[in-house]
Structure 1
Amino acid sequence: MKILRFLFILLLAVSCSKHQLHPYTFYYWKTDLSLARTEKDVLQKASLPFLYTRFFDVDKTDGKFQPVGVITKDKSFITGKQIIPTVFITNRTFLNITNQETRFLAESIHALIRKKASEYHLKTGNEIQIDCDWTAGTRDDYFKFLNELKKISGKSVTCTLRLHQVKDKKLMGIPPVEKVYLMCYSTSSPLKKSGKNSILDVNILRSYLSKIKDYPVKNMAVALPIYSWGIVTNHLGKHRLINALSQKDLENPSFKKISDTEAEVLKDGFYFGHYLNKGFRIRVEEISDDQLQAVIDFLQKKYSLSILFIIN
C-alpha cells in the first residue's frame, strides 16, 4: 500500500499543477521476479509500456567476470509491459580490462540476457540498459564496452547517469549512447552520519544538476526513488541497511523511540528478518511526496522528461 500512496499523491500533485503530466514507469530491482496484486495494479496504470528489470549484476573476482544475483521468476510475475533488461556492472570490472576481455564481456552479457529472457518467456524489446558508476579511470574502457555491446546485440544500448557524472562531465566523459537515465537518488552515503537524508536531499541534487542543460545527451529520463530503508548501527558504530522499513516499523514495544525516525532496540531478538542486539539503533529514511514534487518541479524546467520510479 505504501507504493500506491506515493504513486497516487505524486500523480495527483503533477496532474493538478500547471505543469506537464510526464509519462512514467518503474524499475524492478529484486532478484526474484514476482508481483503481488497491488503491484500488478500499480504497474498496469503506469503510462509507459515498459518495465525496466534488473537481470543480474556483473563483478570481477580473482580476475574473472562473474554474474551475480541472476534473476529467478515466480509464476505470479505476469505483466503486459515490455521488459527492458538492465544489468548492473561494478566499476572495478573495467579496471585493467583488455580489448579481448571487453568483447568477451559484451558477448557473455548478451548471451545471458537472451538465455534468461527465453527461459522465462519475457517479452523484451530493442533496448538493453547498463548501470555502472564509472569513474575517470574506467570511462574509456566502459565506453568501449557500450559500443561493443551495441555491435554484438544489434540493439539500442542505453545507460544510467549518476549525479556526479553530470556535474563533472569533462572529467567523467559522455557515454556513447542515444539515451541516458539520470539517477536522482543516493545523494550521500547512508553509512555516514551527515544528518541528511541519504536517499534524496533536494538541495544537494540541485547543486549537482545546476548546469544540466549543458549535458550533451538530450534524450534523458529521470529515475526517482519511492523506496525506504532502515540504517542499523551497532555498538561499534558499524552500519547495515534493512530495506523497506518505514517510521511505522519503529512503533514496537521492544524499541525505545528517540525521534520520529530513530529508535533503540531494548531487547535482543529477530526484527525484520535480522538479529539485532539490545542497544542497536535504527534510523529510518523515507522519501516524502513533497521531496519528489520538488525534484520534478526543478527538472521539468530543464527537460520534457519520462519518469521512472525506483522501488525496493
Structure 2
Amino acid sequence: MKILQLFLTFLLVASCSDKKIHPYAYYYWKTNLSLNKTEKKALAESTTNFLCTRFFDVDKVNGKFEPVAVITKDKSFSTEKEIIPTVFITNRTFYNIKIDEIQFLAESVSQLIQKKVKDYQLSSSKEIQIDCDWTAGTREDYFKFLNALKKISGKQISCTLRLHQVKDKELMGIPPLQKVYLMCYSTSSPLENSDRNSILDVQILKSYLSKLEDYPLKNIEVALPIYSWGIVTNHLGKHKLINALSKKDLKNKNFKKISDDEIEVAKDGFYFGNFLSKGFKIKAEEISDQQISDVVKFLDQKISHYNIIYYQLDSKFVEGRSFQHF
C-alpha cells in the first residue's frame, strides 16, 4: 500500500512540475500614453521585459495613406519595460497598391515610429510589430511591405496572426518573418445574433487551431483577451458595442435581469454614456480565468514555448486578476 501511495504521489508531483508557467506581457492600445496606479502596478508585475504599444493606425482615405490616432504621451508615463512599437494597418490599405507605394508606406511607417520614439524618449525594442487582417487578395503586397519595412528600419519585424490565417494557411500564405503573435480572440462577430461569447469561444478556437503544430513558423507568441464589452440590441434587432462593460455593471434598478449576463432596460435613460430605450437589451461579455486556462492548456499541446500578451493593459481589466498561474 505504501509503495502505491508513493507512486501516486510521484505522479502527482511530476504532473504538477510539467505544468508550464508562461512569461506574460500586455498590449497597450490607448491613444494617450498614461498609466494610473493600478496599471503601473500590473505592468511592473508582468514577467517579461516588454510592452507592446500601439503607436498609430494606417488607413487609405481617398486613395492616400494616412496615419490615424497617433499616440500622445502624458508626462506621468514611465516604465522600465522596452516598448515594442505596434502599428495597425487596415487591409484596404493594400488594395491595388503599387510597388513604389509599398516602398513609400514602409518608409513612412518607419519614420513616424522613429519620430515618436525620439519625441517621447521611449526605450524602444529592436522589434516592430505590424497588425493587419490581410486576405488572400492582399497577401502578396502585404508580405512585400513587411520585407520592405524590415530592410528600411533595420529592425526585427513581427506581425499578428489571426485564427483563420492559421486554419487556411495555404490560401492566406505564410508571412516572411521569424515571429508572429497569434490572436486568440474575436472568435465571432459581436454584431451577430448568437449565444456564443464573441470575444472568445474556446471550442471555436480549438477547431481553428486543430493543426497549429503544422504551422511553418515556430516562433509564436500568444495574445489572450482580458477585455469585456456590452452588446446592445434595439427593437429592430440591430446591435452596437459599449466597450469595457462587465456583468457587474448590469446591476441597476432600471434593468430587468434576463440571465447572469443579460438584462432588459426597464426605463428610458442614459446608461454608460448612451441613451437606451425601454425594451433594449444588453448582453455583457467578459473573459473568465477558466477560459484563459482552457486555451493555455490546449496551446501547451501545440506550441513548445511561448509568452502570453494580454489585451489589454487597462485598470478595468487587470484590477483583481492574477496571471502568475497561467
Under a length normalisation based on structure 2, what TM-score does the superposition of the two structures give?
A: 0.89
User: What secondary structure sits across from 1:249 in the alignment?
Assistant: helix
Secondary structure at the counterpart of residue 284 of structure 2? strand
User: Alignment partner of 2:102: what SS?
Assistant: helix
Distance 2:145 2:223 in 1: 23
Aligned AA (1:146): L
Residue in structure 1 matched with residue 128 of structure 2 by the alignment: 128
Whichever residue aligns with residue 285 of structure 1, its letter is E
Q: What is the RMSD computed on CA atoms of the aligned residues?
A: 1.4
User: In the alignment, what sits opposite 1:198?
Assistant: 198
Letter in 2 for 1:51: L
Q: State the number of aligned residues.
A: 298
Q: Which residue of 2 aligns with 1:186?
A: 186
Whether 2:292 is the aligned partner of 1:292: answer yes
- Match of 2:96, SS state, is coil
Aligned twin of 2:207: 207
Cα distance in 2 for partners of 1:236, 1:119 equals: 48
Distance 1:151 1:249 in 2: 48
- Aligned residue identity for 1:154: G
TM-aligned CA deviation for residue 160 of structure 1 = 0.3
> Is 1:176 matched with 2:176?
yes
Which TM-score applies when normalising by structure 1?
0.93
Question: 1:13: which partner in 2?
Answer: none
Residue type matched to 1:310 in 2? Y
**Which residue of the partner structure matches residue 139 of structure 1?**
139
Q: Return the offset for 1:237.
A: 1.9
Partner of residue 8, structure 1:
none
| 2:278 aligned with 1:278 | yes
Please, which moves more after superposition, 176-185 or 257-266? 257-266
Give the AA of the match of 1:102. I
Q: Which moved more, 1:257-266 or 1:133-142?
A: 257-266
Give distance in 1, aligned partners of 2:276 and 2:108: 40
Gap runs ≥5 in structure 2: 1-15, 315-326
Partner of 1:305: 306
Distance 1:276 1:23, change over 3 A: same
Stretches of structure 1 that go unaligned for 5 or more consecutive residues are 1-15
Query: SS of 1:217's equivalent?
Result: coil
Separation in structure 1 between the aligned mates of residue 242 and residue 49 of structure 2, nearest angstrom: 31
Output aligned runs, 1:227-306, within 5 Å: 227-303=227-303, 304-306=305-307
Q: Which amino acid aligns with 2:119?
A: E
* Aligned equivalent of 1:116: 116
Tell me by how many angstroms 1:17 deviates.
6.8
Superposed CA deviations along residues 21-67 of structure 1, whole A, max 9, x for unmatched, are: 11110001111211111111111011100000011111111111111
Counterpart CA distance in 2 for 1:31 and 1:247 is 26
For 1:103, the aligned partner's letter is Q
User: Structure 1 residue 275: deviation in Å?
Assistant: 2.4
Q: What residue is the counterpart of 2:12 in the other structure?
A: none
- Equivalent residue of 1:245, what SS? coil
